[in-house]
Amino acid sequence: MTMLFISTGEVVILLFAVLMLFGPDRLPGFVRSLAKGIRTVKNAQADLTQQMSKMAEDQPEMKEVSKAVEEVKSDIEGVVSRKK
């Protein structure tokens, strides 16, 4: 089993080190805090994905505005070139 480029043996060693560091009494609280942090990151990722999707939906409007700006720009360039 590999998870995030960590082998099974490394996961076991990591879990053992965490158990020794925090002890069996504080381990459940540590796991809860870790789960809460992971949940927060996942929620932030979902919010970011939603915002990116909304921005992608707004893209056709931006294309229309960009097209209008390009038309005005070409009109101005045409007038300037006639003046020269």
Domain ranges of the chain: 24-83
Place of tokens 């979902």: 46
DSSP letter assigned to residue 34: H
Q: What are phi and psi of 10, to 5 degrees?
A: -65, -35
Provide the pLDDT for residue 32: 92
Provide the pLDDT for residue 83: 67
Place of tokens 């209008």: 68
Below-50 pLDDT ranges, the chain: none
Q: What are phi and psi of 4, to 5 degrees?
A: 55, 40
